[in-house]
Amino acid sequence: MNTTNEATIDKVVVITGASAGIGAELAKQLAARGARVALAARRKAELDAVAASIGQNALAVVTDVTKRADVERLSKAALDRFGRIDVWVNNAGRGISRSVADLTDDDLDAMWRDNMKSVVYGIQAVLPHFKSRNAGQIVNVSSGLSRAPFAPVRAAYGAVKSAVNMLSASLRVELRATHPGIHVTVLLPGVVATEFGVNSMHATIDNRRLPGAQPVEDAARAIVDVIENPRPEAYTSAFIAEAVGRYQREPDAFEAELASRQH
């Protein structure tokens, strides 16, 4: 039930990576505004706990987003329960902390599987439903690292997220010509105070301990905003948007400054 003065969000929203972090917080914020949410993640106990905290407007579906069949089952479960899907948030993903010089085939395959193939599976699972209605929104959670080399040790992650950005833009152009009622949004967070870093491959960074890490509530609120006001892309904070803008204006100086902080 919406207990605030904010407008009700009468939408059915599928959220991947919803057992913790941004996904869990997004589910709670949307449900508080009246949305119905289908929550997906691999960890059953944690996912069930998030759904229980929301109540009858939440559906928990244990899902491995790197498996196409699981994602298709998620879409079907949401449709069976709620009758429609209005928004699909591809939030699940995985980071990495490893120098470009040290990346292995397994590292690269994992980044592509976890951060790109999972997004494609989500898009393809929901797109026929959206096309049948000429309505809907896909929100792909990318990263500020896709636009600037803020953390070179996460280069492979940022590189794949750059690919997600272009995939999203290309899909947006494709749909504009045939199904203009479907929106595709890229959401670009900076450092958010979640367990993302410690769950990364070769983990060395705990985002929660980094100075200036954005509260998870603020990052989730930015996604709520793009659901209420669909647009091609948005940053979760003015700080990361301004930093990316500066990098685009003066890349050499910006990279030199970043390099000086590495030692």
CB neighbourhood size of 128 (10 A): 9
The pLDDT, as a whole number, for residue 52 is 97
Tokens representing 173? 């152009």
The domain ranges of the chain are 12-260
Tokens representing 167? 């995939």
Query: By three-state DSSP, how is residue 93 classified?
Result: coil
Half-sphere exposure of 174 (CA within 13 A, CB side): 9
Instruction: Give the predicted TM-score (pTM) of the model.
Output: 0.93
* Residue carrying the six token digits 């301990």: 209
Handedness of CA 172, 121, 203, 100 (dihedral sign): negative
161-186: per-residue pLDDT in tens?
999 999 999 999 999 999 999 999 99
Q: Which residue has the higher pLDDT, 196 or 258?
A: 258
100-159: per-residue pLDDT in tens?
999 999 999 999 999 999 999 999 999 999 999 999 999 999 999 999 999 899 999 999
% residues pLDDT > 90 (the chain) = 84
Phi, psi of 135, rounded to the nearest 5 degrees: -160, 145
Mean pLDDT of 19-27: 93
Confidence tier at 1 by pLDDT (50, 70, 90):
very low
75, amino acid identity: S
- With CA atoms as reference, report the closest residue to 33 among 58, 15, 10: 10
Tokens representing 95? 């980071």
Residue 208 has pLDDT above 90, yes or no: no
Mean pLDDT of 243-250: 96
> What is the rounded CA–CA span in Å between residue 218 and residue 222?
6
Residue 194 has pLDDT above 70, yes or no: no
Query: By three-state DSSP, how is residue 39 classified?
Result: strand
Burial per residue of 215-232, b for 16 or more beta-carbon CB atoms within 10 angstroms, e otherwise: ebeebbebbbebbeebee
The pLDDT, as a whole number, for residue 214 is 74
Mean pLDDT of 93-101: 93
Query: By three-state DSSP, how is residue 19 classified?
Result: coil
Task: Report, in angstroms and rounded to the nearest whole number, the Rg of the chain calculated over CA atoms.
Answer: 18
- With CA atoms as reference, report the closest residue to 224 among 15, 3, 5: 15
Where helices occur in 154-250 by DSSP H, the ranges are: 155-178, 216-228, 238-249
> What is the rounded CA–CA span in Å between residue 200 and residue 146?
17
- Report the length, in residues, of the chain: 263
Q: What is 12-260's CATH superfamily?
A: NAD(P)-binding Rossmann-like Domain (3.40.50.720)
- What is the set of active-site residues? 157
Q: At what angle do helices 118-133 and 68-82 cross, to 10 degrees?
A: 40
Burial class (CB in 10 A: 0-12, 13-18, 19+), 19: buried
